[in-house]
Amino acid sequence: MFSEKANKIFQDVINTYHVLNTVDQPFTNIYNKETNLLEHLLYRKCWIDTVQWHYEDIIRDPQIDPVAALALKRQIDASNQDRTDMVEYIDSYFLEKNKSVSVKENATINTESPAWGVDRLSILALKVYHMHEEATRTNATDTHKAACQKKLDILLEQRVDLSTAIDTLLKDIANGDKYMKVYKQMKMYNDDELNPVLRSQK
């Protein structure tokens, strides 16, 4: 199943990141884009999410230097753009894969595209990893660990449900029972013409 492959790749990415555990480490995609395109995209997607997860931790430091915080905010903005781009690349993969499917007359569209489900699954993998860390942290209180274990149990259940939903959606698309569209991002705040602050400085 697709979700089994995706969850394994996400776990591999997160484990690899935490060997050095720094946002500044170099990135190497272990999957060849030409021979393993889907795996290549999933690996890159989760790496972006993992780095951004730690950006978000860093920027919440109450003692962070304001200049450093602004620079980090720019990195987060760039990371968000990369994340959205990767979602579109993954959806494009699914569109290409299913381009010859005969869509049934009564087919319906889903509330979100497959890749936005994958986006949620990648973030969920990060939540599971870090909640497990908290549930097993040796210097935490028993109360803290017990509370985190309860949250972890819910996250694991959520991952099963989301994985099932994504697999079902992909099956429905392949069978023509569902169809998908990709609405390209229309972000305004990065655009010199659409953001009034940027436009006023031209």
Query: What pLDDT was estimated at residue 181?
Result: 87
Q: Which letter does DSSP use for residue 193 in this model?
A: T
User: Which pair of tokens denotes residue 117?
Assistant: 């489900």
> Per the structure block, which two tokens stand in for 47?
């790496």
Report whether pLDDT(52) > 80: yes
Q: Which residues pair with 179 in a beta bridge?
A: 109
Q: With contact defined as beta carbons under 8 Å apart, do 113 and 181 qualify? A: yes
What would the pLDDT profile of 117-160 be if each residue is shown by its tens digit?
Answer: 999 999 999 999 999 999 999 999 999 999 999 999 999 999 99
Q: Are the C-beta atoms of 113 and 84 separated by less than 8 Å?
A: no
Do 88 and 185 form a contact (C-beta atoms < 8 A)?
yes
Strand 108-109 and strand 178-179: the pairing is parallel
> pLDDT category, 198, cuts 50, 70, 90?
low
pTM of the model: 0.91
* Local structure of residue 138 (DSSP, 8 states): T
pLDDT value of position 182: 83
Query: What pLDDT, in 10s, does the model give residues 53-82?
Result: 999 999 999 999 999 999 999 999 999 999
DSSP E strands in 65-190: the ranges are 108-109, 178-179
Above pLDDT 90, what percent of the chain?
A: 89
Confidence of residue 187 (pLDDT cuts 50, 70, 90): low
Cα–Cα distance between 115 and 184 in angstroms, integer? 12
